[in-house]
Amino acid sequence: MLDQHVDKILIVDDEEEIAQALKLFLDDEGFASSLASDGATALDMLEKEKDYSVVLLDISMPGLDGVTVLRRLHDAGSDTAVIMMSGYGNEELAVECMRNGAEDYISKPFALEDMRQRIERARAHRRARIEKRQLQQEKEDFILMLSHDMKNPLTAVIGSIDIIREGRLGAVNEEQGEYLQSAIDSCNEVVIMIDNLLDIRKFEAGKIQMAIHPCNVHELISKVADQFARPASHDGIELTVDLQPGTSEIAVDRNAFTRVLGNLLGNALKFTPEGGRIAVSCRSIHGDTVRALKIPAYATIPPDFPEGNCFIRVAVRDTGNGIPTDELDRIFDRYTQFTRRTERERGGAGLGLAYCKLAIESFHGMIWAECEAGHGSNFVILLPCCSESSSGGK
């Protein structure tokens, strides 16, 4: 059964008899077909009318041959599906054409019914390609909209609520303050999600800019942990921070590393029920201790992961539901989420860990998760020390 929509088909062949027979058949089948007897005319017609859905293109023609026409169409970004028509002995060339963007090829002489089926297939593929491109475009537009049209107003909303919460416009009682704080927290969650999404895209496009400098890891951890102290106590969760004495420096982008920790702590909080515990720890590790680490097979060791002898190990451990062991290799992929949640059911886009992985790898480090069913999760970051002398003991 043919599609209701009348598709335009261009037949390009210098053999008039074949072309005419094909045209009659296709018009009979409900297509609107046109003829071109050489490559140059075909390119001209396709340039003027861009709505041809399929081109049936003879490979051997005087002047511009089918291979050249195909290449020019491809270079011009045409989305018209091309079916090559090859004469005897031209099969290898036809296969080469398929590698260069032709949808299909058919050897002459061919049965008209065979040609009809190939046209149907080519049309379906073309439609799918166009739909995919449109979806991709919609996604791009949506992301652009997110960054410009949602993040800025949200930041303004947070600012305004904060002014009220601080009591600058009149007294605010404790309960009101809590509601306002919770509104701010929710807005912040969305802002973090948008930032994750935008930065993941920048990483993918190779456009991320990191300001990597030696930073005091204890200071960064303390800063983030302080921000989580209130929400943790609000949720009835004990948050502890254990920093090994001594100053350890890591080469990271302050903002990005802070966001990584924020994502890990945010997850720990989100997936740990009331009464649970979250423990953040930081240690310098050396030599044999590094070699004894059980780095799971799924953790990507970056190609530039240093062989050095001193690393900083930061861990965020919680007593939540944990993650099924067989799912651990997927959690750092974008949009991966597991339905099992605590009773506090909070949303999320499944982007936080994907961002963490990209950011940590850009610091030449590694991140992985260690979980045992029912025993919570432990997210581990391993980063090279800035220098051997900066480490704080074993």
Ligand X SMILES: Nc1ncnc2c1ncn2[C@@H]1O[C@H](COP(=O)(O)OP(=O)(O)OP(=O)(O)O)[C@@H](O)[C@H]1O
At which residue do the structure tokens 């942990």 appear? 225
The secondary structure of 356-377 as a DSSP string is: HHHHHHHTT-EEEEEE-TTS-E
Determine the Cα–Cα distance for residues 163 and 180; give it in Å rounded to an integer. 10
Judged by CB under 6 A, does residue 188 bind ligand X?
A: no
Name the E strands within the chain. Answer: 8-12, 32-36, 52-58, 81-86, 104-107, 212-216, 238-243, 249-253, 277-286, 310-318, 366-371, 377-384
Transcribe 242-258 into DSSP letters.
Answer: EE-SS--EEEEEHHHHH
Closest to 204 in 3D by CA, of 366, 357, 349: 357
Instruction: Tell me the helices (H) and strands (E) count for the chain, helix number first.
Output: 11, 12
Q: Are 331 and 322 in contact (CB under 8 A)?
A: no
Q: Which is nearer to ligand X, 96 or 329 (CB)?
A: 329
Question: Pick from 10, 56, 115, 193: which binds ligand X (CB under 6 A)?
Answer: 193
Told to check if 378 binds ligand X by CB under 6 A, we report: no
Footprint of Mg ion on 308-367 (CB under 5 A):
348, 352
Window of 118-126, 127-135, 260-268, 272-280 that interacts with Mg ion by CB under 5 A: 260-268
Closer residue to ligand X in complex, CB, 33/196: 196
Work out what residue 336 binds among ligand X, Mg ion, none; the CB cut-off runs from 5 to 8 Å by kind. Answer: ligand X
Determine the interface stretch with ligand X among 56-64, 79-87, 296-304, 313-321 (rule: CB under 6 A): 313-321
CA-angle at 348, arms to 347 and 353, nearest 5°: 145
Position among 70, 215, 252, 351 found at the interface with ligand X (CB under 6 A)? 351
Region of 113-121, 136-144, 250-258, 352-360 interacting with ligand X (CB under 6 A): 352-360
Q: Which residue lies nearer to ligand X by CB, 90 or 263?
A: 263
- Region 267-286 residues binding Mg ion, contact defined as CB under 5 A: 267
With CB cut-offs between 5 and 8 Å by kind, which of ligand X, Mg ion, none does residue 193 bind? ligand X
**# binding residues, ligand X (CB under 6 A):** 23
Binding site for ligand X (CB under 6 A): 193, 196, 263, 267-268, 271, 318, 320-323, 331, 336-338, 348-354, 377
